[in-house]
């Protein structure tokens, strides 16, 4: 094996290869196990692509399993959005879509098995008492007075729990492990509780529900998952995971492997906070383009390829760290750079009138769709006497090194002619409204003109033919440097996170653009047609990312 190949493998791949080589498993199965209590975000994308990528790489299987054992917060809306997001990322679960709640019967049987083995007991302590008895990190716990109930009594009481004889919280089923274990998770953890809640899948069939640490290993084992990949906070739960699969005597016990969560600077990933922003109407739903839910990234114009590239660049590690948001931007720029047409769009327009250009005349100028990728072909752009240019491309009194338009200066109109600024008009408030120029017919783009050079090139659109559109510009919704949270724990939101430009003009080649179509607007960035608000008569574009970046990948 080549040396660099070894280096590039992440530690999970190494574990899998060892398990395959030593014959512990003959194929692998991974899973993505979301709890349907919100929309997925960029961190989940990492988990999805990691699990799916491993299954693909080792010719194994990938399951999508809804971890819906906790009925309080789960909603069908979330199930649907999660399926759509996983699919969009390209992770194919084929016919293996599962719901943990379909295993409630098997989990119940598992609990009975533990009771019969003397490995679980019904406990009557209250929640507070259980906490007291549990001990601390430095002190061992105390045995519950109910710990030594007989198997028969436990079987009877557990059945009565299931039959609804006890109030919520009155009794629990606990694993009988070790109240003195240095690992608090092993101090007789609760594995079943009484809770009268209607479940989105099983309705009112159950009034007892399994706890996560008991349910999850069973779900994995039932599905034949070989490598159960989760995030670091479950590391201390692994002994309990192993205990459950061992005591239930599954022939092929799954193996839990932990990796560090993905954290991204200047964004909000916590479901709790996103939910609050949505509920308070501060953002426009779970897919507001300022969020990093997968649906928001999709709406903003990110591609599955860019997210995949990002996740790969992040790598898989055991140490928590935060990744710079600029790296995500780098990935989408890289992905779109050669794939998208580069069109001219004016976001902050002022009129430019070419006084010596014939009134009513329209010329069509040829332009490459993408100068770096010939395959995208060419298009024709109308040119006429009245154009729009960016307000910032004209200055009445230019500073040094300003090479764009100012009285007396000549610039190149991209794909057009040289124009020279002759005069300008202002309104009563002193704002420039029209820039007057003359053009030199000799300087037409593509004519091979070499007579003289100009230092500035600016973009433009023909006023009569341009498509009027709305453009939305985004900044990060929070700023790590200014502090993400206020003193009262609320979010310190960036008031400039959204700028809406209602009167933008774009060259007519975009006029049939549909939801999710994206373009480079020269000098301004990459933009994507908004899937929620854009209509045929009122195109709305989201800026995905600007063109400039300080972010560099060391190669």
Contact positions toward ligand ATP, by CB under 6 A?
33-35, 43-44, 46-47, 230-231, 261-262, 269-271
Query: Binds 271, which of Mg ion, ligand ATP, none (CB < 5 to 8 A, cut-off by type)?
Result: ligand ATP
Do the beta carbons of residue 325 and residue 313 sit within 8 Å?
no
Taking the complex as a whole, how short is the minimal distance between the CB of residue 53 and ligand ATP, in angstroms? Answer: 13
Do the beta carbons of residue 264 and residue 313 sit within 8 Å?
no
Taking the complex as a whole, how short is the minimal distance between the CB of residue 41 and Mg ion, in angstroms? Answer: 12
Query: Binds 34, which of ligand ATP, Mg ion, none (CB < 5 to 8 A, cut-off by type)?
Result: ligand ATP
Taking the complex as a whole, how short is the minimal distance between the CB of residue 367 and ligand ATP, in angstroms? Answer: 43
CA distances in angstroms from 307 to 33, 286, 396, 426, 503, listed in the order given:
20, 18, 44, 47, 31
Do the beta carbons of residue 259 and residue 231 sit within 8 Å?
yes
Residue, CB closest to Mg ion:
35
Q: Which is nearer to Mg ion, 230 or 292 (CB)?
A: 230
Cα 132 from Cα 126, distance rounded (Å): 10
> Alpha-carbon Rg of the chain, whole angstroms?
31
Long-range CB contact pairs, 532-535, < 8 A, 24+? 532/284, 532/285, 532/287, 532/299, 533/470
Q: Which is nearer to Mg ion, 65 or 404 (CB)?
A: 65
CA distances in angstroms from 4 to 7, 56, 108, 309, listed in the order given:
5, 21, 49, 19
Taking the complex as a whole, how short is the minimal distance between the CB of residue 540 and ligand ATP, in angstroms? Answer: 29
Q: Scan residues 139-158 and list those touching Mg ion (CB under 5 A).
A: none
Do the beta carbons of residue 436 and residue 508 sit within 8 Å?
no
Tally Cβ neighbours within 10 Å of residue 293.
27
Burial of 337 (0-12, 13-18, 19+ CB in 10 A): middle
Taking the complex as a whole, how short is the minimal distance between the CB of residue 314 and ligand ATP, in angstroms? Answer: 9
Q: Which is nearer to Mg ion, 80 or 233 (CB)?
A: 233
CA distances in angstroms from 354 to 35, 455, 460, listed in the order given:
61, 20, 12
Taking the complex as a whole, how short is the minimal distance between the CB of residue 71 and Mg ion, in angstroms? Answer: 14
- If we measure between CA atoms, which residue out of 44, 81, 555, 542 comes closest to residue 332? 542
Query: Binds 46, which of Mg ion, ligand ATP, none (CB < 5 to 8 A, cut-off by type)?
Result: ligand ATP
Q: Is 449 left (phi over 0), alpha (psi -120 to 50) or beta?
A: beta
Taking the complex as a whole, how short is the minimal distance between the CB of residue 480 and ligand ATP, in angstroms? Answer: 16
Segment near Mg ion (CB under 5 A); pick from 27-35, 174-182, 482-490, 491-499: 27-35
Do the beta carbons of residue 55 and residue 32 sit within 8 Å?
no
Taking the complex as a whole, how short is the minimal distance between the CB of residue 387 and ligand ATP, in angstroms? Answer: 48
Q: Which is nearer to ligand ATP, 156 or 261 (CB)?
A: 261
Handedness of CA 239, 245, 249, 253 (dihedral sign): negative
Q: Which is nearer to Mg ion, 35 or 422 (CB)?
A: 35
Cα 288 from Cα 41, distance rounded (Å): 12
Instruction: Spell out the alpha helix ranges (H) of 281-368.
Output: 294-300, 304-314, 325-337
Query: Binds 261, which of ligand ATP, Mg ion, none (CB < 5 to 8 A, cut-off by type)?
Result: ligand ATP
Q: Scan residues 29-68 and list those touching Mg ion (CB under 5 A).
A: 35
Residue, CB closest to ligand ATP:
43
Segment near Mg ion (CB under 5 A); pick from 28-36, 246-254, 285-293, 422-430: 28-36
Taking the complex as a whole, how short is the minimal distance between the CB of residue 285 and ligand ATP, in angstroms? Answer: 17
Taking the complex as a whole, how short is the minimal distance between the CB of residue 90 and Mg ion, in angstroms? Answer: 23
Query: Binds 43, which of Mg ion, ligand ATP, none (CB < 5 to 8 A, cut-off by type)?
Result: ligand ATP
Q: Which is nearer to ligand ATP, 43 or 71 (CB)?
A: 43
Q: Which is nearer to ligand ATP, 85 or 393 (CB)?
A: 85
Q: Which is nearer to ligand ATP, 311 or 411 (CB)?
A: 311
Handedness of CA 299, 305, 308, 314 (dihedral sign): negative
The pattern of x and - marking residues 393 through 432 that bind Mg ion according to CB under 5 A reads ----------------------------------------
Query: Binds 237, which of Mg ion, ligand ATP, none (CB < 5 to 8 A, cut-off by type)?
Result: none
Q: Which is nearer to ligand ATP, 201 or 373 (CB)?
A: 201
DSSP assigned state of 41: B
Query: Binds 444, which of ligand ATP, Mg ion, none (CB < 5 to 8 A, cut-off by type)?
Result: none
Structure-derived torsion over alpha carbons of residues 314, 318, 319, 324, reported in degrees to the nearest 10: 10
Q: Which is nearer to Mg ion, 35 or 479 (CB)?
A: 35
Q: Which is nearer to ligand ATP, 30 or 154 (CB)?
A: 30
Cα 447 from Cα 461, distance rounded (Å): 20
Taking the complex as a whole, how short is the minimal distance between the CB of residue 35 and Mg ion, in angstroms? Answer: 5
- List 31's β-bridge partners, or say none: 63
Per CB under 5 A, residues contacting Mg ion are 35
């Amino acid at each position: 094996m080549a040396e660099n190949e070894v280096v590039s493998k992440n530690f999970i791949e190494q574990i899998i290869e060892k398990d395959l080589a030593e014959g512990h498993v003959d194929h692998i199965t991974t899973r993505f196990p979301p709890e349907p209590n919100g929309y997925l975000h960029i961190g989940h994308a990492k988990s999805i692509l990691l699990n799916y990528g491993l299954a693909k790489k080792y010719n194994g299987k990938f399951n999508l399993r809804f971890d819906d054992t906790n009925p309080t917060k789960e909603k069908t809306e979330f199930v649907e959005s999660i399926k759509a997001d996983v699919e969009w990322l390209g992770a194919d679960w084929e016919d293996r879509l599962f719901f943990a709640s379909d295993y409630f019967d098997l989990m119940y049987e598992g609990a009975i098995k533990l009771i019969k083995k003397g490995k679980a007991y019904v406990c009557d302590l209250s929640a507070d008492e259980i906490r007291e008895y549990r001990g601390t990190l430095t002190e061992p716990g105390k045995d519950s007075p109910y710990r030594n109930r007989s198997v028969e009594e436990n079987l009877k009481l557990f059945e009565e729990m299931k039959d609804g004889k006890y109030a919520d919280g009155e009794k629990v089923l606990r694993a009988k492990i070790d109240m003195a274990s240095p690992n608090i998770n092993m101090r007789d953890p609760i594995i079943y509780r009484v809770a009268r809640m209607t479940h989105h899948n099983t309705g009112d069939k159950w009034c007892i529900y399994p706890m996560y640490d008991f349910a999850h290993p069973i779900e994995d084992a039932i599905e034949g998952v070989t490598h159960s990949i989760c995030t670091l906070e479950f590391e201390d739960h692994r002994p309990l995971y192993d205990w459950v699969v061992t005591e239930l005597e599954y022939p092929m016990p799954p193996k839990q492997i932990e990796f560090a969560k993905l954290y991204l600077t200047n964004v909000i990933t916590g479901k709790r906070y996103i939910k609050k922003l949505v509920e308070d109407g501060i953002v426009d739903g779970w897919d507001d383009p300022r969020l990093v839910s997968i649906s928001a990234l999709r709406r903003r114009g990110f591609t599955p390829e860019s997210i995949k590239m990002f996740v790969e660049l992040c790598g898989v590690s055991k140490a928590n760290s935060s990744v710079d948001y600029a790296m995500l931007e780098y990935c989408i720029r890289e992905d779109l750079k050669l794939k998208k047409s580069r069109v001219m769009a004016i976001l902050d327009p002022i009129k430019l009138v070419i006084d010596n250009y014939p009134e009513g005349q329209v010329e069509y100028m040829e332009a490459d769709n993408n100068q770096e990728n010939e395959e995208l072909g060419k298009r024709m752009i109308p040119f006429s006497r009245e154009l729009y240019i960016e307000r910032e491309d004209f200055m009445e009194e230019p500073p040094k090194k300003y090479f764009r338009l100012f009285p007396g200066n000549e610039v190149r109109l991209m794909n057009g002619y040289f124009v020279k600024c002759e005069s300008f008009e202002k309104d009563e408030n002193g704002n420039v409204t029209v820039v007057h120029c003359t053009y030199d017919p000799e300087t037409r783009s593509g004519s091979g003109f070499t007579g003289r050079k100009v230092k500035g090139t600016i973009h433009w659109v023909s006023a009569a033919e341009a498509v009027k559109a709305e453009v939305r510009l985004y900044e990060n919704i929070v700023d790590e440097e200014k502090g993400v949270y206020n003193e009262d724990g609320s979010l310190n939101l960036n008031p400039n996170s959204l700028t809406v430009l209602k009167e933008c003009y774009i060259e007519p080649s975009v006029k049939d653009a549909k939801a999710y179509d994206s373009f480079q607007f020269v000098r301004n960035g990459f933009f994507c047609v908004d899937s929620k608000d854009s209509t045929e008569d009122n195109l709305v574009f989201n800026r995905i990312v600007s063109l400039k970046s300080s972010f560099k990948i060391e190669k």
